[in-house]
Structure 1
Amino acid sequence: MRRKSYLHTTPSRWGPLLVATASSWWYMLHLGAISLVMAFSPTTYNKENRRATSRHLYIGLWQVLPWFTMLSALVSLVLIRIVVVSALSYGLSRYALEMVVRVLVLELIPLSAAMFVALRAGLAFNPRDALAVAVATADSKEAAARAQNRLRRELVPQVISSAFSVLALAMVSSIMVLVLAYLVVYGFSPWGLGDYTRTVGRVFDPLVTIGFGLKTVMFGLAVAVIPSAAMLEIQRRGRAPSTSVQPGAMRLLFVLFSIEAASLAVKYI
């Protein structure tokens, strides 16, 4: 049965719909907490799980890292050039580099990396039906143990891979953008290193650096957990997706933009 939205149902049904929505969000948070605990547990990293994690990292990160970095560098180069030329035309050249770092490195690169990983890996997550059945029917100690083992083998490697992929793509692309920004502003001359490091250091003060790292980690966790939880919830409840959109897509976008909005509010308000 399809779940109706608040706009397409009567007010008398808003209560059950609100309960169902809260239950869905709680299931997602609960699954994310379980995945994090298992990811930090030494017992998770046996030979089979290490092999599965390596396979996911190779497919989700290593295969796409070179051309994603090249694509982000190409787009960033165009944006950097536009910003620098515009700043020169208005006599604001001294603010061009700082604007590039604040907009591209701090905001756009982490968000684009998270959305890319979500489209490639997170939203394509499709666990086997046996895993969902095991999780849903874990009503005994034996069933719970089997469900826990399946989570370690099937879900945790995917979560680790997605989270680490967001971090790696964001960090590598940010370094590439910083190099390109220097080359566009100062060329190949080494005499701009002093001004460049002072400008970048002024942007990346301790609080901004901590916020940047925390935001990127939260992006990675959201991309890793939300699509997986949506697929498992659908299989656990035995119902079809309520829309033609990939399960968890709208919720993931909402969480990503909420994190970004909260980050902007903390830094600039």
Structure 2
Amino acid sequence: MRWLAGWGRIVWLGAVLLVLALSPSSYGRPRMRAALARHLYLDTAPILLGFTLLCALLTLVITRIVVVTAASYGLSQYALEMVIRVLVLELIPLTAALFVALRCTIPNGAALADMRRSGHFTELQGRGLHPLAVEVLPRMLAGLFSVVTLAALSCAVAIVLAYLAVYGPTPAGLPAYTRVFGRIFNPSVSLIFVLKTLFFSLAVSIIPLASALHDGDAGGSRESAALQGLVRMFAVLLLLEAVSLMGNYI
């Protein structure tokens, strides 16, 4: 029953945050706009360069391994398609979501749990401010923005580096590369890719925050709140990844 109640609380709080995010009135207060701008910067800018370089290195290593292995088996024509499918479709969105969760949203959730226990939320309510709109919503939107930004930029870098690793700095391979890319990203795969990235960003943005607030109500420690958020988020990410794989390959 506690397990069901915990997930019910997460779903309810996630729905409330989505309604607040889609409501224009949520952005009317200067304090909310300032908090949103601060968290957008703090949750994206410090990790953008490092994550992009990590994905670039991963792209070069995986591309080299796949190309050499495919050539040894006489399957060179499938190497580039495999690289794009593994990196762009599967690894980069999942890695971006996990990176943002570990770097930003799980620590943010633990900080919110501390704020609630220390009475900061009660103080905000006494001043006529809604804690969800002032403290929770900016962190949720910043996490969502960070995942989408990191995934989009890293996918673009991976696409360029994969081409350079296979064809080198020459435009001669562009026709063949665009045909491979167009064959992979048909309308259904493109839709699944966009939806998967969006749901990944929602999962890592909402679940750690909601879990931390729920565990804070239950009197859990900061470490317990972070661990509960990580376990629940990881389970949802695995489920989303399994659904996307079924949609792409079944």
Max radius of gyration: which structure? 1
- State how far apart, in whole Å, the 2-side matches of 1:219 and 1:144 are: 35
Q: What residue number does 1:7 align with?
A: none
- State how far apart, in whole Å, the 2-side matches of 1:183 and 1:92 are: 19
Indicate how the Cα distance of structure 1 residues 259 and 128 shifts in structure 2: closer, same or farther if over 3 A, else same: closer
1:52 aligns with 2:35: yes
Q: What residue number does 2:153 align with?
A: 172
Q: Name the one with the larger helix percent.
A: 2
2:107 touches 2:226 (CA, 8 Å); kept in 1?
Answer: no
Pairing 1:41-80 to 2, within 5 Å after superposition: 41-45=23-27, 46-80=29-63
Q: What residue number does 1:127 align with?
A: 112
- State how far apart, in whole Å, the 1-side matches of 2:117 and 2:133 are: 13
The superposition leaves residues 163-197 of structure 1 with CA deviations (integer Å, 9 ceiling, x where unpaired) of: 11111101100000000110011111111111101
Q: What residue number does 1:93 align with?
A: 76
Paired residue secondary structure (2:236): helix
Structure 2 stretches lacking a partner, 5+ long = none
Shift of 1:255: 0.7
The superposition leaves residues 86-132 of structure 1 with CA deviations (integer Å, 9 ceiling, x where unpaired) of: 11111111111110111100000000000000000111011165547
Shift of 1:49: 1.3
Indicate how the Cα distance of structure 1 residues 188 and 130 shifts in structure 2: closer, same or farther if over 3 A, else same: closer
Shift of 1:247: 3.1
The counterpart of 1:157, out of the listed 125, 131, 138, is 138
Paired residue secondary structure (1:188): coil
- State how far apart, in whole Å, the 2-side matches of 1:244 and 1:234 are: 6
Aligned length: 246
- State how far apart, in whole Å, the 1-side matches of 2:145 and 2:136 are: 14
Same amino acid, percent of matched pairs: 45
- State how far apart, in whole Å, the 1-side matches of 2:126 and 2:12 are: 15
The superposition leaves residues 230-249 of structure 1 with CA deviations (integer Å, 9 ceiling, x where unpaired) of: 11011112244795963311
- Could you list the runs of 4 or more consecutive aligned residues of structure 1 that deviate by over 2 angstroms after TM superposition? 128-137, 143-146, 237-247
Pairing 1:1-269 to 2, within 5 Å after superposition: 19-45=1-27, 46-125=29-108, 126-127=111-112, 129=114, 131=116, 146=128, 149-240=130-221, 246-269=227-250
What is the TM-score of this pair, normalised by structure 2? Answer: 0.91
- State how far apart, in whole Å, the 1-side matches of 2:91 and 2:240 are: 13
Deviates most, 89-98 or 104-113: 89-98
Instruction: Give the CA RMSD over aligned residues.
Output: 2.4
Q: What residue number does 1:9 align with?
A: none
Structure 1 stretches lacking a partner, 5+ long = 1-18, 138-142
What is the TM-score of this pair, normalised by structure 1? Answer: 0.85
Aligned letter for 1:216?
Answer: T
